[in-house]
């Protein structure tokens, strides 16, 4: 099956893996030498890198890696890989431990290992030196905070999310909906957004340069003509440019209207809890599809909700049949986006399957399941 972008898993840069991380390293190194990461940078920094020269990360990211520059790129890549895997697995363990779910802790961690190390999409995240596992850990902790009021989780999630501004594509709508439903119960979830914005304000002099970089080189590349630049799993491959961008906004407003139409704060809260898991899956899928250039290694963000599934099954008051439908749909989705057997090349999918359509159809499915959850009764679900 074709991955987006396709490249051998042994892709290297002068014998070193991690081409995307090296892009970050270049701007961090230039900053450590006195150049602004968002200003003109001498060509000598790009001697071993012949691709995009647009800085796509917030200043906080370059500041973090700037402190590691003296160690050299191989050491930075090792630290980067260990740190993101450690944060992801420790976050999963913390969520499951809060449930006292020791029996499912090991099987869940093994399932996560399979989805990362036996999946071409998971391996591509590691090979390219991406930061999606940091973002996935933040999503995991934020979703868990719906059922477990842990301020520390939200602060850690905010720090991890600050590494990539695209994290707000999911965090913004999800936290907004939770806050609108019940600001007293879910008010602390604003912490994660506050931490991200605080990390931006810390580097206020660089904000104008960063804003220009994400408009022309990241989230909105191409402007009105962005369809010709779209690639990977971007919804701009399926719809006119601005329609593809508006899907997640329209979905958020649709569910906001439904929640606000429910009388009584407790009733709204229960409806949100019942629909929270499929709603989160839908928003992550649509957040991935929002970007003009969106690659399949972002599927690890969907994997982030696996520990949260146990929380939802135990804490949300939903019927057993609904639990089974949502859990099985999520399991199939994980296998599909991870390209695990039997969803591998030449078995059930064509050699060049259009994964953008898969992501969009899956988002529609989980949107429907979220709607069913809102409208369903309050039958207490069987314990996991």
- Residue 383's pLDDT band, with cuts at 50, 70 and 90, is very low
Spatial distance between the Cα atoms of 85 and 133, rounded to a whole number of angstroms:
7
Peptide bond into 5 cis (omega under 30): yes
Mean pLDDT, residues 103-125: 88
pLDDT greater than 60 at residue 4: no
Q: What percent of the chain has pLDDT over 90?
A: 53
This prediction's pTM: 0.89
- Helix, strand, coil percentages, rounded to 5, for the chain: 70, 0, 30
Spatial distance between the Cα atoms of 139 and 123, rounded to a whole number of angstroms:
20
Spatial CA neighbour of 99 closest among 172, 150, 45:
150
Three-class DSSP labels, 179-218: HHHCHHHHHHHHHHHHHHHHHHHCCHHHHHHHHHHHHHHC
**Residue whose entry in the numeric block shows the structure tokens 């929002």:** 290
Mean pLDDT, residues 254-275: 92
pLDDT tens, 72-108? 999 999 999 999 999 999 999 999 988 887 788 888 9
Q: Is residue 58 part of a domain?
A: yes
Q: Is residue 352 part of a domain?
A: yes
Residues 6+ apart with CB under 8 A from 2: 345, 351, 352, 353
State the pLDDT at residue 294: 85
Residues 6+ apart with CB under 8 A from 230: 222, 236, 237, 241, 244, 292, 293
The two tokens of residue 170 are: 């999911």
Q: Is residue 68 part of a domain?
A: yes
Q: Is residue 183 part of a domain?
A: yes
- Cβ contact 315:273 at 8 Å: yes
Task: Choose the weakest-confidence range: 234-238, 279-283, 294-298, 380-384.
Answer: 380-384
Q: Is residue 105 part of a domain?
A: yes
Residues 6+ apart with CB under 8 A from 94: 141, 153
Q: Is residue 110 part of a domain?
A: yes
Domain of residue 105: give its range: 19-375
State the pLDDT at residue 236: 87
Quote the number of domains for the chain. 1
Q: Is residue 189 part of a domain?
A: yes
Mean pLDDT, residues 47-63: 84
Task: Choose the weakest-confidence range: 52-56, 108-112, 306-310, 369-373.
Answer: 52-56
Q: Is residue 11 part of a domain?
A: no
Distance from first CA to last CA of the chain, Å, rounded? 35
Most confident of 62-71, 236-245, 287-296, 310-319: 62-71
State the pLDDT at residue 264: 87
pLDDT greater than 70 at residue 222: no
């Amino acid at each position: 099956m074709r991955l987006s972008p396709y490249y051998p898993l042994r892709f290297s840069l002068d014998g070193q893996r991690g081409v995307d991380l090296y892009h970050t390293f270049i701007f961090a190194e230039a900053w450590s030498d006195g150049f602004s990461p968002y200003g003109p940078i001498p060509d000598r920094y790009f001697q071993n890198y012949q691709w995009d020269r647009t800085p796509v990360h917030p200043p906080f990211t370059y500041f973090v890696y700037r402190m590691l520059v003296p160690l050299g790129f191989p050491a930075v890549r090792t630290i980067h890989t260990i740190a993101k895997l450690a944060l992801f697995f420790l976050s999963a363990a913390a969520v499951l431990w809060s449930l006292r779910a020791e029996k499912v802790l090991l099987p869940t961690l093994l399932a996560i290992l399979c989805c990362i190390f036996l999946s071409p999409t998971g391996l591509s995240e590691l090979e390219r030196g991406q930061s999606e596992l940091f973002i996935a850990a933040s999503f995991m902790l934020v979703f868990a905070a719906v059922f477990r009021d842990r301020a520390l989780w939200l602060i850690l999630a905010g720090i991890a999310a600050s590494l990539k501004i695209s994290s707000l594509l999911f965090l913004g709508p999800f936290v907004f909906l939770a806050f609108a439903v019940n600001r007293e119960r879910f008010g602390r979830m604003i912490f994660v957004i506050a931490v991200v914005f605080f990390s931006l304000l810390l580097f206020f002099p660089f904000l104008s340069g960063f804003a220009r970089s994400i408009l022309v080189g990241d989230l909105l590349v191409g402007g009105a003509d962005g369809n010709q630049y779209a690639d990977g799993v971007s919804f701009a491959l399926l719809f006119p440019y601005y329609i593809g961008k508006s899907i997640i906004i329209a979905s958020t407003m649709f569910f906001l209207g439904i929640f606000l139409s429910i009388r009584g704060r407790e009733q709204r809260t229960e409806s949100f809890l019942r629909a929270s898991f499929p709603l989160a899956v839908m928003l992550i899928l649509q957040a991935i599809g929002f970007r003009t250039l969106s690659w399949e290694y972002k599927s690890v963000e969907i994997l982030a909700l696996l520990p949260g599934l146990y929380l939802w099954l135990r804490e949300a008051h939903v019927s057993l049949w609904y639990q089974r439908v949502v859990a099985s749909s999520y399991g199939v989705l994980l296998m599909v986006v991870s390209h695990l057997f039997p969803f591998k090349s030449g078995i059930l999918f064509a050699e060049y399957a259009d994964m953008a359509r898969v992501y969009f159809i899956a988002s529609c499915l989980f949107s429907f399941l979220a709607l069913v959850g809102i409208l369903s009764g309050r039958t207490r679900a069987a314990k996991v």
